[in-house]
């Protein structure tokens, strides 16, 4: 697994498309929200800004890079060749996705640390970490499922748009309007409960015991995404 991950990390820095989608664009979007935190705090909260940062990196970075990477490796028959080795399927996927996952976690941690230094620390850092990890897991699962519908790296620019834009839209909706109305709908949409959890973790004012159940919808999406990936994921190009 680690040898695959090391090789994949080298490929990331050689592939301009993945480099831009997983590194440059999410950082630029996040930096804008952090720089303008006073403006966005006036229409939402610091927790809302933290959620947008998390989903900017997760959706435009991790999720998109996951789909692009797997589609590219399938197209070049690299996935097929790896399956002929002693490596197990789970180890192959873990090795391929470990670099982009690690990069995304480092980015989120660094950007949120900057936000905390310029605007104030989160009320509960452990709860915030749980929200980030659950969201990362959900987006990896959705990436695996979407990769099954994606024929090439170029095709990924189209197939990733619904989820990428969708979770950002849900995070913005929940971050600005809260969950006092249409609570169940907002929490069940992908990204809704995670946004609320990040807001609770950063802004405070809500007991941890009341916030932890918000992990359930996100983890439910993980289960659904893995079930879809099991049915849709392909190891070699369709004929």
- For the chain, give every domain's residue range: 2-232
Interval 19-30 mean pLDDT: 72
Q: Which of 105, 115, 101 is nearest to 50 (CA)?
A: 115
User: Are 195 and 174 spatial neighbours (Cβ–Cβ below 8 Å)?
Assistant: yes
* Residue 71 to residue 152: CA distance in whole angstroms: 5
pLDDT confidence band for 166 (50 / 70 / 90) = very high
* Residue 221 to residue 3: CA distance in whole angstroms: 30
Q: In this predicted model, which residue has the larger pLDDT, 237 or 184?
A: 184
Q: In this predicted model, which residue has the larger pLDDT, 27 or 48?
A: 48
**What is the C-alpha R_g of the chain?**
18
Interval 160-185 mean pLDDT: 92
For every residue of 34-85, DSSP letters joined together read HHTHHHHHHHS-HHHHHHHHHHHHIIIIIIHHHHHHHHHHHHTTHHHHHHTS
pLDDT attached to residue 118 = 82
Is residue 140 scored above 80 in pLDDT? Answer: yes
Q: Which of 59, 40, 38, 171 is nearest to 108 (CA)?
A: 59
- The angle that helices 46-57 and 161-177 make with each other, rounded to 10 degrees, is 170
What pTM was computed for the model? 0.90
Residue 59 token pair: 């959706």
Q: With H, G, I as helix, E, B as strand and everything else as coil, classify residue 27.
A: helix
User: Are 94 and 1 spatial neighbours (Cβ–Cβ below 8 Å)?
Assistant: yes
With vertex at residue 216, the alpha carbon angle to CA 226 and CA 59, rounded to the nearest 5 degrees, is 55
Interval 170-197 mean pLDDT: 92
pLDDT confidence band for 40 (50 / 70 / 90) = low
pLDDT attached to residue 154 = 86
């Amino acid at each position: 697994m680690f040898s695959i991950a090391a090789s994949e990390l080298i490929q990331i820095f050689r592939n301009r498309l993945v480099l831009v989608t997983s590194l440059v664009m999410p950082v630029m979007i996040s930096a804008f929200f952090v720089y303008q935190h006073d403006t966005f705090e006036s229409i939402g909260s610091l927790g809302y800004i933290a959620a947008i940062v998390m989903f900017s990196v997760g959706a435009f970075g991790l999720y998109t890079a996951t789909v692009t990477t797997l589609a590219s490796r399938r197209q070049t028959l690299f996935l097929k060749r790896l399956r002929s080795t002693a490596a197990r399927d789970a180890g192959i996927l873990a090795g391929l996705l470990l670099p982009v996952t690690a990069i995304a976690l480092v980015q989120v941690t660094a950007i949120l640390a900057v936000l905390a230094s310029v605007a104030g620390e989160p009320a509960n850092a452990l709860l915030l970490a749980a929200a980030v990890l659950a969201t990362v897991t959900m987006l990896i699962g959705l990436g695996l499922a979407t990769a099954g519908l994606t024929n090439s790296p170029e095709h990924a620019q189209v197939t990733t748009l619904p989820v990428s834009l969708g979770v950002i839209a849900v995070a913005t909706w929940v971050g600005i309007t809260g969950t006092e109305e249409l609570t169940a709908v907002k929490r069940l949409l992908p990204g809704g409960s995670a946004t609320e959890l990040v807001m609770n973790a950063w802004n405070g004012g809500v007991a941890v015991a009341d916030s932890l159940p918000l992990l359930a919808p996100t983890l439910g999406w993980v289960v659904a995404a893995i079930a879809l990936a099991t049915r849709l994921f392909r190891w070699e190009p369709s004929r």
